[in-house]
Amino acid sequence: MNILYVLLAIAIVLCGLMVVRYKAQTLPIRGPKPQFFWGTFWNMYQSRDRIPDWLYEKTMDANGKTWTFSMPNSPPMVCVTTPENLKYILKDNFSNYEKGILFREVLQELLGDGIFNTDGKKWQEQRRLAVQQFKRKSLHEHMSAVMIAHSNIVLNHLENHADKQKSVDLQRVFYAFTLDSFSEIALGHNIDSINTKSDFSDAFDRAQYLINRRFTTPWWRIEKILGIGRERELYQSVQLLNEFVKQIVVNKRKLSPKDNTSNKDFLSCFIQELNNSTTQPEVEDEASDSYLIDIVMNFMIAGRDTTAGALTWVFYRFWKHPEEYSRVFNEIQQVIGDTPMAYDHIGMLPYTRAFLFETLRLNPSVSKNLKYAVQNDVLPDGTVISTGTGIVYSSYVMGKMKDIWGDDVNEFKPMRWIATQANGTQKFKDVDPYRYPQFNAGLRICLGKHMAIMETEIIICQLLRRFTFSLAMNEKDPEYTDTLTLSMKNGLFMNVKAI
């Protein structure tokens, strides 16, 4: 009974703090009608498993214009939907819009002080280190070699399913492929999750799901303080991830500087860079390990989940759009044929890339993003932003807007990404990233964009030259699972047949 009184007292105090902390729950612009104290929380909570669609529906209710929503213990939230507003936030007035304390608090356990969860000098330093790594030609050649090697493992795995005439969950295969290849690129360590059950992979998925739920669960702080419910499970998942990565970090740090210099993985290169830096402050080994763990976890999310999700939706759309699939297949046959896949083939497949970009327009890997205003401001469309206001922008929403893509916005048309040259040849045509923020935009644009495209095109080319695929499940329009990235809710089960 005493415990119940304690819990009730804690709940009352926290609720009181919520009211005191944020009295103003709304801004004087369009949006769902708020309720006292709860704001628009219950309206959003009813759609907690489909937040990207909720954002799209409310954007349509606002006629595609800027709108606002609110939650307890949170400042007002503004959803921006135009390229002009997005360019202003992500580039023109970049310094005024940060990840912010609230965002970092939600993601702290998983992302720590990594590049996706920091601002200011910490972000600048990690960005600088990452840019240096991605500029190395040797890294790109190393990445392509690793990806091709792991794609061959995938071919062998699918060959077994084809021989046994058994369906296979391609989503699981793609998540294993990206985890195994990127763990080797980032850590110099092959997890081999495609052949063995991986606790790391399971904990990684679960931690992302639970972290994402914090955004629509105001009482998560209470669960964290008490160590109960989802927060207890989150703690256990993150502990497993950190222990796994920490052991690799410790072993890498034991290597001689010469050994780390000869290794080509991200972690070895970061250690070497930090060792050579004259500006890096001296810290205890434990602090350095923690810093490196945060860097690795951020790159693992970027390198594994986004590409695996994209591949899953690409192969689903191969089945859904057979004519477009045939064009991709014919292009691959004409360019590569039966020759071994090589780094030089990347960039020679404009229609394949167009198919990928059109898929990501409608099924983005990262569907939503969040910033907080540092100071009062006015957006290009006249929306007044007060200090601390949250700014939400969604590639999922913007990819479905007629004002951006025209009346054929709901049609799957890879040709919208193709420009025909004067000599009749076709060339891939990129667009303004503020219209298409699938790889983010501005000063935080995705550094691994080329790597993700390369990995996707490699596995597409490898698989389509060896197998045909047909849907082996009843879901003709599969749903997504909304975590930090969008995966397919029940997997993508397909029949595999050798060509």
- DSSP-assigned states of every residue in 393-430: E-HHHHTT-HHHH-TTTTS--GGGGEEE-TTS-EEE--
pLDDT tens across 157-194, in order?
999 888 777 899 999 999 999 999 989 988 888 899 99
| Per-residue model confidence (pLDDT) at position 387 | 95
Both structure tokens of 162? 């084809």
Run of H or E residues at 125: helix 120-135
Helices (H), 301-439: 306-320, 322-335, 350-362, 395-398, 402-405
The reported pLDDT for the residue numbered 295 is 85
Q: What pLDDT is attached to residue 9?
A: 52
**Dist. CA 34–CA 25, nearest whole Å:** 8
Round to whole Å and give the CA distance between 428 and 348: 9
The tokens for 118 are: 């920091």
Contacts of residue 36, Cβ cutoff 8 Å, sequence gap at least 6: none
> What six digits make up the tokens of 73?
């213990």
What token pair was written down for 2?
């005493």
Distance set, CA 358 to CA 44, 151, 211 (Å): 28, 23, 29
349 lies in which domain range?
A: 2-498
Looking at residue 422, what is its pLDDT? 84
Q: Which two tokens stand for residue 282?
A: 């001296």
CATH number at residue 493: 1.10.630.10
Count of domains forming the chain: 1
Is there a contact between 441 and 434 (Cβ–Cβ < 8 Å)? yes
- Beta strands 418-420 and 426-428, pairing class: antiparallel
Positions of the chain with pLDDT under 70: 1-28, 37, 256-262, 277-287
Phi and psi at 438, nearest 5°, equal -60, -25
Phi, psi of 56 (to 5 degrees): -65, -45
Cβ 494 vs Cβ 171: under 8 Å: no
Written in H, E and C, the secondary structure of 18-60 is HHHHCCCCCCCCCCCCCECCCECHHHHHCCCCCHHHHHHHHHH
pTM assigned to the model:
0.88
